[in-house]
Chains A and B, each alone.
Chain A
Amino acid sequence: DVKVTQSSRYLVKRTGEKVFLECVQDMDHENMFWYRQDPGLGLRLIYFSYDVKMKEKGDIPEGYSVSREKKERFSLILESASTNQTSMYLCASSSGSTAGGLYNEQFFGPGTRLTVL
């Protein structure tokens, strides 16, 4: 059974803290993604990676960075957390070798609900 796991389901941090969100997939997928999900706004892409050490900005990269040192792991970093980064963060992965390209069926993790006080 394919699986995307995220390091925490719930996280509470203080303004200014550095926050690491970890994501691991066991499907040998080339592509990995970080989204944030907010009520009434749907999913918005923060960053994605199509290969180890490669990263591309999504629609809302400001205030975030990412790291992909290994194929199975994609980390989202909030350098200095702010209250407007309180959100649900979803990690996803997809196989790069299909007709659907980068955004072929994405497999999502359970999400990390981050609260920044």
Chain B
Amino acid sequence: AQSVSQHNHHVILSEAASLELGCNYSYGGTVNLFWYVQYPGQHLQLLLKYFSGDPLVKGIKGFEAEFIKSKFSFNLRKPSVQWSDTAEYFCAVNVKRDDKIIFGKGTRLHILP
């Protein structure tokens, strides 16, 4: 069965630390890839997306993600986190053949001031 794995369920970092959140999926065909973020008390919103082209995509608030097809991965990165990045982050994969979307279980990121 198709699945999306977010390896870290809870991450705690200090401000200015570098961030990498892992996302792997288990489907070999064409996919669209997304990272969504949910700040405390706010709606879920799109952080960035990959459909095709340059595998390194840049999103809002200094986030970026790299699609590595051979590793079935779409990891989220930020070189220097801020306290305001405290949120829950969800990776999502759209399996185009089946036109399904699968969300990962989420990673709670807590930034210490």
Q: Please report the C-alpha to C-alpha distance between residue A102 and residue B51 in the assembled complex, in whole angstroms.
A: 13
A-B contact count (CB 8 A): 52
C-alpha spacing A111/B44, complex, angstroms: 9
A42 contact from B49, B51, B106, Cβ within 8 A? B106
Q: Closest CB-CB distance, A51 to chain B, in whole Å?
A: 14
A103:B94 contact, CB within 8 angstroms: yes
- Asked if residues B103 and A106 are in contact (CB atoms below 8 Å), the reply is no
Which B residues are in CB contact (< 8 Å) with A90? 44
Q: For residue A100, which residues in chain B have a CB less than 8 angstroms away from its CB?
A: 32, 49, 51, 94
A44 CB within 8 Å of chain B: yes
Q: Which residues of A contact B96 (CB under 8 A)?
A: 101
Query: Quick one: which of A4, A40, A103, A107 contacts B101, CB cutoff 8 A?
Result: A103
Chain A: interface residue total (CB-CB under 8 A): 24
Q: Does B99 contact A (CB under 8 A)?
A: yes
Cβ of A105 < 8 Å from any Cβ of B? yes
Q: Is the interface of B mostly helix, strand, loop or mixed?
A: strand
Q: How many Å lie between the Cα of A109 and that of B42 in the bound state?
A: 9
Q: Which residues of B contact A40 (CB under 8 A)?
A: 9, 105
Instruction: Write out the residue numbers on chain B whose beta carbons fall within 8 Å of the beta carbon of A4.
Output: 43
- Give 1 or 0 for each of A41-62: 1 = CB within 8 Å of chain B CB: 1111100000000000001000
Q: Which residues of B contact A12 (CB under 8 A)?
A: none
Q: Is the CB of B103 within 8 A of A102?
A: no
Return the chain B residue nearest A109 by Cβ: B43
Closest residue on chain A to residue B95 by CB atoms? A103
CB proximity of B8 to chain A, nearest CB, Å = 13
| Whole-angstrom CA separation of A111 from B41 in the bound complex | 10
Contacts A41-B105, A45-B101 given; does A101 touch B44 at CB 8 Å = no
Q: Give residues in A with beta carbon < 8 Å to B.
A: 4, 35, 40-45, 59, 90, 92, 99-111
Interface residue ranges, B against A (CB under 8 Å): 9, 32, 34, 43-46, 49, 51-52, 90, 92, 94, 96, 99-101, 103-106
